[in-house]
A and B are shown apart, each in its own frame.
Chain A
Amino acid sequence: MEGGVDRISNLPDDILVKIMSPLPAKTIVSTSILSKRWTHVWTEVTNLDFDESFFINIHRPKPEGVSTRIWLMMLKRNGRRRFVAFIHQTLLRYKRNQLSRFRLKYTYDGEHCFHISQWINFVFKRGVQELELDFINSHRYYEIPIGFFNYEGMTILKLSFCLLKQSNSFKIYSMLKSLHLNTMILTSDLLNEVIKNCFLLEDLHLEKCHNLSNIRILDPNLPLQSLSIRDCRILERGLITNTPRLQFFEYFGRLIPFYMELMPFVQHVELDFEHELVLVNASEKLAKRLWYFNNTMELTVCSFFLQVLPTYKKLQSLPITLIFLKHLTIKADLHRELPGIEFLLKVSPNLETLSIEMGKGRRNIGYSCPSGTQVSCFSQNYWETKRAEFGCFAHNFKTMKINDFRGWKNELQFIQYVLKNAIVLEKLIINITRKGVSDEYHSTLLVTAQEIRDYPKASLHAEVLIQ
């Protein structure tokens, strides 16, 4: 664009501020040296995003005679020091009274604790609405200062790698809509107290909060729509909820007790249990979990779930019908999970799409095939003896997706079975795996996948797409 005209500098300040606001603070501040016009524009931006990684230049050439370990340490230390100084400089020059969003990403090592609390005060004074403090992978947990809970203006709060202590001065978070806590030290009592005080909470995400023994969300008037719990060990006293407006539920972690009131509007559910050891009553517990989500439209379940569920003797007599389920995703190897898959297909008459994520099967110690299965569920011929026509196959089942296709025999047999029986199938989408696969093997898999095109099909319109 040689000889072009500089038009951006002639834009009004409010537009320039709008352009810059979503950018990282380092870029925003650097615009001050573009020309005189730009010197002060940045001081009115509405968001400040401070990310340490912009200050640590690991590509800087290492002087001779210094070990890599020491050099890296020095670079990081130097970068962090410049980062802290930069934040101070920036906040000193910042002019706006209203700050919408503040994010800090910093590796905390116990130093600058006082400064961080000063920054927090600074943004609170400017009425910050979205606050994210991310100390992930720090050497220490950052202790949230007393008085943090006196500020009520936040709508979004995200904390990582912090220590939250019980505070007496608890305010009602009348504004908070979204709360994300990742790798935090806090007690169940504190968490439950916080939740109780957030009248408008819509979105709660808890990840790796290992000190929690239980999670209670008991106010049915809470507008909670999304609840996500990931790897929070051990939660031995379970998850106790009464959240009638919940739409999105995600649980990753150990099989814990769930005590949940009905959620009539739940749409998306993902359950991924990490157990290796099959406990007594596990199957009964799983069956009850599934019953909670009778209304869901999208369901994702793990290998463990599919293996253990059908071993529950009274499963068939439970009133489980996933009448609204349209999209089922399973993480499996199509091996031990077959009876579980069969069960889910049977109870989902309106299923339209089945997605299979291959290579996510798991061996569970103490697992045995459900009693009453004539053919071993490990058998590759499992489907040959099945003539079960699933309701969904006759009416709604239109799409099957195989992600990370591996060309295994049991996998091909399942595909064969579906193609032979799914009358209204429109698409079979196969994504060939790239995980740990040489180019040569990849082309072998491609050939295998192409052979699927010749399998007998019950549906005239069924199309096989290979990606």
Chain B
Amino acid sequence: MSSTKIFLKSSDDKTFEIDETAARASETLKNIIDGGCLDGVIPLPNVSSNILPKVIEYCKKHGGDNGSSKKIANGGVDKDKEILPDYDEEEDKREKVRVDELKKWEEEYMDFDQQVLYDLMLAANYLHIKGLLDLTVEKAASMIRGRTPDQIRENFNINSDFTPEEEEEMILIEDEWDDEWAFD
């Protein structure tokens, strides 16, 4: 199955090629393609050439498979299918293999340092690639989970811009238990 090629231009003016089917993994690109405003190269002023190949790699893996929309269909949207479940067990088995393989791929794909994480997260957000955004957000969450504020600051190089007095006050507030229960 041959596919139309799409060209993407990074913020630093480098051009990358991607199959149309892969590009459709991005909601933003999909809208541009479907909108018929496609005129040669799509400029992506928010994505640099450092990160764009990484984004394309993800799209190649996920474009066309509609992994996420299939899950939703199983959740009960596809009524006709529910009434007559045409169950194909071979398909089911292949699906399982696919899922396992994808998990392994994701693990390898997500092995990078923090700086890449933000670029990728922002690119996924900008291009509306839900799966990629979820993956990167999850990784960031795992770096916060179970950590104290001090550890979080250290982990992410966050500098507290509170004065020592403010900080002390905040800790007091955190520890002080207000007996006023009224809220709504």
Contacts and interface: CB of A to CB of B under 8 A. Distances in A.
A253 B149 CA distance: 46
Nearest to A324: B89
Interface centre among B133, B170, B177 (most CB of A within 10 A): B177
B177 A223 contact: no
A245 to B, nearest CB: 7
* Interface SS of A by simple majority: helix
B145 A8 contact: no
A15 B136 CA distance: 10
Contacts of B1: none
Given A5-B157, A88-B178, A115-B181, A20 B144 contact: yes
Interface in B89-119: 89, 114-115, 118
B18 to A, nearest CB: 24
A390 B51 CA distance: 58
Contacts of B137: 15, 18-19
Contacts of A438: none
A197 interface: no
A9 B158 contact: yes
Contact of A11 (B122, B141, B145, B153): B122
B160 interface: yes
Interface in A87-140: 88-89, 91-92, 115, 118, 122, 125
Interface residues of B, number: 41
Contacts of B161: 35-37
B158 A6 contact: yes
A122 B181 CA distance: 13
Interface in B116-162: 118, 121-122, 125, 133, 137-138, 140-141, 144-149, 152-153, 155-162
A447 B175 CA distance: 59
Contacts, number: 106
Given A1-B157, A27-B147, A35 B162 contact: yes
A318 interface: no
A33 B167 contact: yes
A345 interface: no
A363 interface: no
A398 interface: no
A438 B56 CA distance: 52
Contact of B87 (A1, A9, A265): A265
A30 B148 contact: yes
A262 interface: no
B177 A85 contact: yes
A33 B166 CA distance: 10
B76 interface: yes
B181 A11 contact: no
Contacts of B122: 11, 15
A165 interface: no
Nearest to B179: A85
Interface in A23-66: 23-24, 27, 30-38
A20 B141 contact: yes
Contact of A82 (B76, B82, B87, B177): B177
Given A7-B115, A27-B146, A34 B141 contact: no
A52 to B, nearest CB: 15
A23 B67 CA distance: 25
A154 B148 CA distance: 33
Contact of A92 (B170, B174, B183): B183
Contacts of A27: 144-147
Contacts of A341: none
Contacts of B148: 30
Interface string B68-86: 0000000010000010010
Interface in A269-303: 297
Contact of A4 (B114, B140, B144): B114
Nearest to B140: A19
Given A23-B141, A88-B181, A34 B158 contact: yes
B47 to A, nearest CB: 15
A8 B118 CA distance: 7
Contacts of B149: 30-31, 33-34
Given A15-B125, A23-B144, A6 B156 contact: yes
Interface of B: 76, 82, 85, 87, 89, 114-115, 118, 121-122, 125, 133, 137-138, 140-141, 144-149, 152-153, 155-162, 167, 170-171, 174, 177-178, 181, 183-184
The 9 closest A-B pairs by CB, nearest first: A85-B177, A92-B183, A4-B157, A6-B157, A8-B156, A7-B118, A19-B140, A18-B137, A6-B158
